[in-house]
Amino acid sequence: MSRLSPNMHTFFNADIIELLNSKKIYTVVDFINSDARTLEKITRATFRVGNIGSTKPFNKNFFCSTQKLLRLLQVYFIKLRHYRNRDKKSIKTVIDMLLEGGLFTANIYEICGLPATGKTLFCLTLVKNVISNTKDNVYYLDTKRDFSAQQLKLMLNIDNKVRRTRGCNEQNFSKKINNRKDLITSLFEIKQSLIEGLKLRLIIIDSLPALYLQSSDHIENNSFLNNMVNILRYLTVEFNTVVVITNLITLWNEGSFKTQERYIENISCGKYWYNIPNVRLKFSKNSENKCQVTLLKTMKIPPDVRHCEVQLTKEGIKENKYG
Amino acid sequence: MFPPTKTAFALYQEEILNGHILSYKESLDSILKGIIAPQTITEFAGDSGSGKTQTCLQLCISVQLPKCCGGLQGEALYISTNNNFSSQRVRELSKNFVEHYKSLDGKTKSVDFNEDFILKHIHYIKVKDCSELIACIHLLGNYLSGKDVKLVVIDSVSFPIRLLDTKIRKLVLSRLLLELRNLASLYQFAVILTNDLTTRVNEGKSYVTPSFGDSFYHLVNSRVMFSKRNTYFHAQIVKSTFYERKEAIFFI
């Protein structure tokens, strides 16, 4: 779903695009779905000029079916390239073993769990590992102001290998996201930076429910998720990045006090989102600072051992040495 | 317009400059260090009479201290929904505070503190129900311009939300917290919400937990559980950005 931009057609100059954006028409699909009269009113253009939807440029770029075969072959080659390009971004060996090697590019990973089970700490540990072991950058899209630069610095300081923490901290870019429009706009900005040559390895979105819970309209929610997922898949495949998204598990009791049924764990953000991530890791707390990580979904045949135990410490997620 | 990108180093500098609020009680401060900072939302959960309101009043006073002494040199805004605010008690606390402050080394005294000064810098808004609370938060931007408010306390957030239908609670809370977060980024203040406890039933066993469930717990940055033992009060951090979970015993 491409955003309207001046290089699409001579009709689209910066003023027209701003007018359309103010009426919530951001993408090509929004433009085509809008009524011709509405467009006339907004842009003050005549019907002839406004009748752009049927012209060839759009057809060429988006609706050409003869290129589909070529794309299929390209997808196959991309998959092989990504397998060879895998990067070990995970922390200690137990989670790496669970993920059978680490975090692979061209995939969307989801970290889910009840609140306060160590999801943000895991994200911070990932950031710390990427910036201290490689020279690549990390983008952290923070929706809840959970990102603590002080905690990250503490973790980098404790890790003896890292001497220049300032340099490392400049590899991590952070954005504060307030609403869905901010998130989509930021992803487009990241795409632009990647085209211009930014070396990005990891995009972390912490957390998705904070944006999803802002509206109860399922249609709006699903169209936002669809838009976001399309952009994320493009970014992961075209630019060899990994996307990690934090999600929430909530407890639901279908019965009442009389029936006393057991709580069911429900993964947030709806049924559409449930099938989107390639790999899903669930964090659950066993005791005060011990956590069990379970592999709920994987893109390959699931391994024999599907869970491992880790410790939550101020240095990050650590292997649980005490069984 | 894109949201601004900042490097972690720039954020680190910002966090250090923003500082955090301490309660001026040694035992409580051992766990509160770094928790109540500008742009974060902290939840105080506990039974009635467990010390939440008293700690909030204490923090409204200590936020006015200069940064070197554990404050933010700013004013406080107290939004009350349950009539727990007592101006007499605030006067009592500020009197003790002023005596303690005067005994500090002369070099740290940059502000002339007295009881009236402290009371003048605590703003108080009383709201009756949920619609008034939502209106208050909407118009808070206009109210805060011109003032240097560094702490906003909502005591308690559970009282008006409980009056709503269960289906819309999640949505209302999520939007309320979003507004607070946006205002907190703009005006650089910390938010404290007070919550009470409710009972949940699981497999025949019941247990007591703070209200509004997991989605609300997810949206706050930190949670402190208060409880009253026989003669003392107990506070425990159960969720925070700093992973040093601690408990503390304090007296009021």
- Provide the residue ranges of all domains of chain A, joining segments of one domain with +: 6-85, 96-322
Computed over its alpha carbons, how large is the radius of gyration of chain A? 22
Number of H helices and E strands in chain A, helices first, is: 14, 11
CA distances from A23 to A144, A178, B10 (A): 28, 20, 35
Axis-axis angle for helices A180-195, A218-239 (nearest 10): 10
Q: Which two tokens stand for residue B244?
A: 């040093």
Q: Which of residues 75-134 of B touch A (CB under 8 A)?
A: none
Residue type, A62: F
Q: Is B178 on the interface with A (CB under 8 A)?
A: yes
**CB spacing of B171 vs A216 below 8 angstroms:** yes
> What pTM value is reported for the model?
0.81
Instruction: Name the residue in chain A with its Cα closest to that of B243.
Output: A314
Q: Which of residues 180-219 of B touch A (CB under 8 A)?
A: 181-182, 184-185, 200-204, 213-215, 217-219
- Residue B228, both tokens: 């009253």
More confident residue, B250 or A284: A284
> For the purposes of burial, counting CB atoms within 10 Å of the CB of A233, is it exposed (0-12), middle (13-18) or buried (19 or more)?
middle
Judge whether residue B191 has pLDDT over 90.
Answer: yes
Question: Which pLDDT value is given to residue A4?
Answer: 78
pLDDT value, residue A48 = 45
What b-and-e string marks burial along A1-28, b requiring 16 or more CB atoms within 10 Å of the CB?
Answer: eeebeeebeeebeeebbeebeeeebbeb
Arithmetic mean of pLDDT, B80-105: 83
Output the CA angle B13-B15-B16, nearest 5 degrees.
65
Q: How does the average pLDDT of chain B come out, rounded?
A: 86
Pairing of strands A200-206, A172-176: unpaired
pLDDT grade, residue B225 (50/70/90)? very high
Q: Which residues contact B106 (CB under 8 A, 6 or more apart)?
A: none
Q: Looking at the complex, does the CB of residue A151 fall below 8 Å from at least one CB of chain B? A: yes
- Fold of the A96-322 domain: Rossmann fold (3.40.50)
Cα distances from A276 to residues A164, A218, A279, B151, in angstroms, run: 38, 16, 9, 40
CA distance B16 to A170: 17
Model pLDDT, residue A51: 44
Given an 8 Å threshold on Cβ–Cβ distance, is B214 in contact with A185? no
As a whole number of angstroms, the distance between CA A45 and CA A25 comes to: 16
Q: Determine how β-strand B190-195 pairs with β-strand B122-126.
A: unpaired
CA–CA min distance B206, chain A (Å): 10
Predicted local confidence at residue A70, as pLDDT: 52
| pLDDT score, position A232 | 93
Helix (H, G, I), strand (E, B) or coil at A316: strand
Q: Number of Cβ pairs closer than 8 Å across A and B?
A: 136
Structure confidence at residue A47 (pLDDT): 46
In the structure encoding, which two tokens stand for residue B50, read together?
């467990």
Q: Determine whether the interchain pair B223/A116 forms a contact, defined as Cβ–Cβ distance below 8 Å.
A: yes
A110 bridge partner residues: A245, A280
Assign B250 to helix, strand or coil.
strand
Distance from CA of B95 to the nearest CA of A (A): 35
Residue with the two structure tokens 């950031």:
A127
* DSSP H or E run through B215: helix B213-219
pLDDT at A65: 46
Alpha carbon of A173: minimum distance to chain B alpha carbons (Å): 4
pLDDT tens string B139-162: 998 898 888 899 999 988 998 998
Per-residue pLDDT of chain A (323 residues; tens, 9 = 90+): 567 777 777 777 788 888 888 887 877 777 777 777 777 777 765 544 444 444 444 444 444 444 555 555 555 444 444 444 444 444 445 677 777 777 888 889 999 999 888 899 889 888 888 887 777 888 999 998 888 888 888 888 877 555 556 666 777 888 888 888 889 999 999 999 999 888 888 899 988 999 988 888 888 899 999 999 999 999 988 888 889 999 999 887 766 656 656 778 888 888 899 999 999 999 998 887 888 888 888 887 877 778 888 888 877 777 765 43
Nearest-Cα residue of chain A relative to residue B239: A116
Q: Which of the listed CATH numbers 3.40.50.300, 3.30.390.30, 3.90.550.10, 3.30.70.2740 matches domain B37-250?
A: 3.40.50.300
Higher pLDDT, A28 or B90: B90
DSSP letter for B190, please. Answer: E
